[in-house]
């Protein structure tokens, strides 16, 4: 599989785990780019989005493989600029910065783990 974007988790904010459990969502952001949001986000190493994410592409995160169902209109630009998007797992969403994915389980997050988007 050809990777479009591959980063490693640096920190997991205390509220980020709550969002994952209660809202089935995770907010990604480049490390150190917005310190005031660090408690709410999963900070990761900077990465390069080599090609726009599209419906049908795959996300590998926390030991689970997901299929991208919907890419919000701002997701690709935000990933390129700040490594930012909100991933909604097995749910619905319509916000411009949201990426909707479907998979068999919720991810198990840990520092050092990779977040990888690959071509379908």
Query: Is pLDDT of 32 > 80?
Result: yes
What's the pLDDT at 98? 97
Domains of the chain, CATH where assigned:
3-118 (2.40.33.40)
What is the pTM for the complete model shown?
Answer: 0.95
Q: Given this model, what pLDDT does residue 72 score?
A: 97
**Nearest-angstrom CA–CA distance, 95 and 84:** 13
Q: Write the secondary structure of 66-97 as one string of H (helix), E (strand) and C (coil).
A: EEEEEECCCHHHHHHHHCCEEEEECCCCCCCC
What is the residue-averaged pLDDT of the chain? 95
Give tens-digit pLDDT for 62-106: 999 999 999 999 999 999 999 999 999 998 888 999 999 999 999
pLDDT given at position 44: 98
């Amino acid at each position: 599989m050809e990777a479009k974007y591959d980063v490693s988790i640096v920190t997991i904010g205390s509220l980020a785990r709550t969002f994952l459990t209660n809202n089935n969502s995770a907010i990604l952001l480049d490390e150190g780019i917005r310190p005031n949001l660090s408690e709410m986000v999963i900070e990761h190493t900077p990465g390069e989005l080599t090609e726009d994410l599209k419906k049908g592409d795959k996300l590998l995160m926390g030991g689970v493989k997901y299929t991208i169902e919907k890419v919000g209109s701002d997701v690709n630009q935000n990933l390129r600029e700040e490594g930012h998007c909100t991933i909604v797992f097995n749910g619905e969403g319509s916000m411009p910065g949201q990426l909707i994915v479907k998979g068999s389980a919720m991810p198990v997050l840990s520092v050092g783990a990779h977040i990888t988007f690959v071509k379908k």
